[in-house]
Amino acid sequence: MDLNPVILSIPIYFLLIGIELLVQAFSRDPIYRLNDAVTNISCGITQQVSGAFLKVGLVAVYELTYQHLSLLQIEPSWWSYVLLFVLVDFCYYWAHRMSHEVSLFWGGHVVHHQSEDYNFSVALRQGSFQVIWTTAFYLPLAVLGFDTLSYIFISALVTVYQFWIHTEKIGKLGPLEWVLNTPSHHRVHHGRNPKYIDKNHAGVFIIWDRLFGTFQEEEERPTYGVTVPVNSWNPLWVNVQHYAGMWQQLRQCRSWADRWHTLINKPGWRPDYLGGYMAPPEVDQHSPKIQPRP
């Protein structure tokens, strides 16, 4: 039996999705599309199934770091859990921010942003490769002396927290907006309007964005998705599409320096001879959102 809080919370996730579906039924306000929601959940399943194999190696990396490089041995207690929660969230901010600002890492995280809707099912849409790039950001916690089990438990809680912020049905939450990551803040994070891109990377505490200059208040309603739409319901293809594009660019690069920049620069970076940086385009809010008959 798996005691991971992320897995144990599955019934709660589906209960909340059910509540949103009820809201949709009574308000006739479109929240869910079958194809989009199915793909979101399929990406979550794909991530959990691949994670069943990957996690052994990644946990081993943390445990080995803890065993051999830890400076302290912090005994689990209520204060150590509170401290660890804040530190995990701090590490999450940087892992998440770098997942947006480094193209190689973005390939693992882009999956979470591909949905063009915004509802609870989007929270489940996670990339299968993301954990490969983000694990290193948490290793300082092992060096500090937080044991592996405590780390796994607390990081799962930080993950579970982020489920409820994926909704358009909760507005602004008054003073909580100053401290916590809320649905309003996270809607901004999922917007592809240029002013919203690469903003609000927080997991639980929005203070990290306020401190490090990446905070953006929700103003107009965001248009969700990514600037290069994936246009697919295939849960395996959506995980590799960015890397396929990156591979093509790597083959077209004329120098190793450009190949290196392709990997570590912002998504959209290209050498001048391939067209230069692709800036996020403004979104035409007046364009029709309903696709015409194909």
Return residues touching another protein (CB under 8 A): 1-2, 7, 10, 30, 33-36, 38-39, 41-42, 45-46, 48-50, 52-53, 116-117, 192, 223, 225, 227, 229-236, 279, 281-285, 287-294
Q: How far is the CB of 64 from another protein (least distance, A)?
A: 21
Contact 74, 148 (CB under 8 A): no
Looking at beta carbons only, is 49 or 82 nearer to another protein?
A: 49
Alpha-carbon distance of 91 to 137, in angstroms, equals 6
Residue 291 DSSP symbol: P
Residue 191 main-chain phi, psi, to 5 deg? -75, 150
CA atoms within 13 A on the CB side of 135: 18
Alpha-carbon distance of 262 to 264, in angstroms, equals 6
Of 104, 130, 116, residue with least CA distance to 250: 104
Of 201, 173, 177, residue with least CA distance to 189: 201
**Size of the chain in residues:** 294
Q: How far is the CB of 76 from another protein (least distance, A)?
A: 22
